[in-house]
Amino acid sequence: MPRMNMVQAINDALRLEMRRDSKVIVLGEDVGKLGGVFRVTQGLQQEFGEDRVIDTPLSEGGIIGTAVGMAMYGMVPVPEIQFSDFIFPAFDQIVSEVAKLRYRSGGEFTSKMVIRTPVGGGIRGGHYHSQSPEALFIHTAGLKVVCPSNARDAKGLLIASIRDPDPVLFFEPKRVYRAAKGEVPSEAYEVPLSSAAVVRTGTDVTVIAWGAMLYEAIEASSQAEAQGVSVELIDLRTLWPVDIDTIVTSVKKTGRVVIVHEAPKTCGFGAELVALINEKAFWHLEAPPVRVTGFDTPFPYTLENEYLPLAHRILPAVLETARC
């Protein structure tokens, strides 16, 4: 089985799906000849031509608007937004058109597409290249939201997203684009959307994370284990629809939960997870749920490592929660 990083796995998924279905179209800024700013689409234009791998103008609203038109005519567009921070000019197209087209047309039209975009900090990108806007799209009815943490999941989740009938926001944690390496099957396969993964079993505290922060949670969990605290670690993979059954099963076992995400704390997705856990597992909780997150400030440049919820911030939360 070949070893791949996340960039290679996503590229492989796109290539396989474009070979399988001639309706799959890739479009975005510099995705063709250059292969994207992170080279995720490198080589696709050479194989599939300029009609199926389209370099667009610098216009995020235009990219998504074009994808909506393609989807209405039966194509399967996979638009790329160069950084998730640049998705806001396309926000109206996504929430007003992509998310609502099936509903407003009574099912006559769909907006089947996968919007790919790099997300999160950790590359010294500053406040215009490091944000995590996932909660805005989870809040929008009609969208699915995915954020893989590793190469194997990235390939399977992307293939499942392309084949899914609904529009999907596919957030790719750029901090681990090339750092997260592992064995990836060469054939096409799907990782079901809405299925979380228990990557570490434990009995004292449930820790929930996704994307690049999973690795910080793994490090903190190992350090907690050395201090006698057993951590069960869940990688959400698909943020919405969330696999609440896996979360509740774990919380019923441990009685305690710590949620980790890069986005600011207020109204972040962690708040919704806390609400769901309180609704479905309140009587099993032995301590208040805790969130370890980014701060309610713009993402800083020089203080990036203070802003991110790295292992040194997660560990005290885990230990304190376990000892409540």
Q: Which of 127, 129, 284, 312 is catalytic?
A: 129
- CA dist 194 and 112 (Å) reads 17
SS3 assignment, position 164: coil
The two beta strands, 231-235 and 205-209, are: parallel
Cβ neighbours of 3 (radius 10 Å): 11
DSSP string, 45-62: HHHH-TTTEEE--S-HHH
To the nearest 10 degrees (0 to 180), the angle between helices 269-281 and 244-254 is 60
CB-based contacts of 177, cutoff 8 Å, min separation 6? 5, 6, 7, 38, 40, 118
* Under 8 Å between Cβ of 209 and 176: no
Catalytic residue at 312?
no
* Under 8 Å between Cβ of 208 and 189: no
Rg (CA), the chain: 19
Positions marked catalytic: 129
